[in-house]
Amino acid sequence: MKNIFVLILLLSSVLLSAQSKKELEAQIKNLQTEIENLKKPKEIDLGGKYARAGYGMGVLIANNIRSQGGDSLDVEAIVAAVRDVFAKNNLKIQQQECLPIVQEFMKEAADRKNSLAKEEGQNFLANNKKQEGVKVTASGLQYKVITSGSGKTPAVSNKVTVHYTGKLIDGTEFDSSVKRGTPAEFGLTQVISGWTEVLQLMKEGDKWMVYIPYDLAYGERGRVPIPPYAALIFELELIKVN
């Protein structure tokens, strides 16, 4: 900021002393270039271990803040606070005041993020059920048959062997037994309620696309890497009723 102020003073001087319009335009252009260069982020040399560790710390902190809905935070204010602490400058907000300020902001940010996720999931399912071949159960669960089998149908007391690929509604894949190359085996009471319900509708050999509302999946809390209020999409194949 101090450097920019100096440049503004220089610009004023140029305006007073320039001998020609051409000279004035050239000097103004040079000063504008100087100002733009000052605004550019400083190039960081990550050759040393302390620089790499510092940058890594910044990445972890920033990703954690963003994941909790802190996208709207003023990044420059964060950087200024970090510099003040490391330089032992007088803090503009005292440490004991910071926690309640941050807690209030993060609660509001999380509420906004959760509300948006809930709305996006509801909108996705409302549109998806209009697609050809999609069926909807009384609970709101949706499914579409890809391949029909003819084997046994599991009861809630059974264990099953399945292959699956799970995605968020934006297409982000969060788990896949197919990619691991090993089918999953579990009891029907050991999984999310959406799976418990849909597997009792399937036969051995069935492969379905399954669309699960958040309240039949991981609910209001989510589970890493699945965020709260997330509707889920699974390609689910029932291989065997054990």
Which two structure tokens, joined as six digits, stand for 63? 């990703």
Q: Which token pair is 93?
A: 């907000």
234 as an active site residue: the answer is yes
- CA separation, residue 59 to residues 64, 70, 173, 201 (Å): 8, 14, 22, 45
Q: Catalytic residue among 28, 84, 105, 175, which?
A: 175
**Catalytic status, residue 105:** no
One of 35, 84, 192, 215 is an active-site residue; which one? Answer: 192
Exactly one of 65, 84, 174, 215 is catalytic; which is it?
174
Is residue 164 flagged as an active site residue?
A: yes
- Phi/psi for 96 (5° steps) reads -65, -20
User: Quick check: is 218 catalytic?
Assistant: yes
Which residue among the candidates 143, 214, 218, 229 is catalytic per the annotation? 218
Closest CA to 4 of 41, 38, 40: 38
Judge whether 175 counts as a catalytic residue. Answer: yes
First-to-last alpha carbon distance for the chain, in angstroms, is 70
Out of 124, 143, 164, 211, pick the active-site residue.
Answer: 164
Contact between 209 and 235 (Cβ < 8 Å): yes
Catalytic residue among 143, 211, 214, 234: 234
28 is catalytic: no
How many other CB atoms are there within 10 angstroms of residue 148's CB atom?
11
Indicate the DSSP class of residue 214.
G
Annotated active-site positions, please?
Answer: 164, 174-175, 192, 218, 234
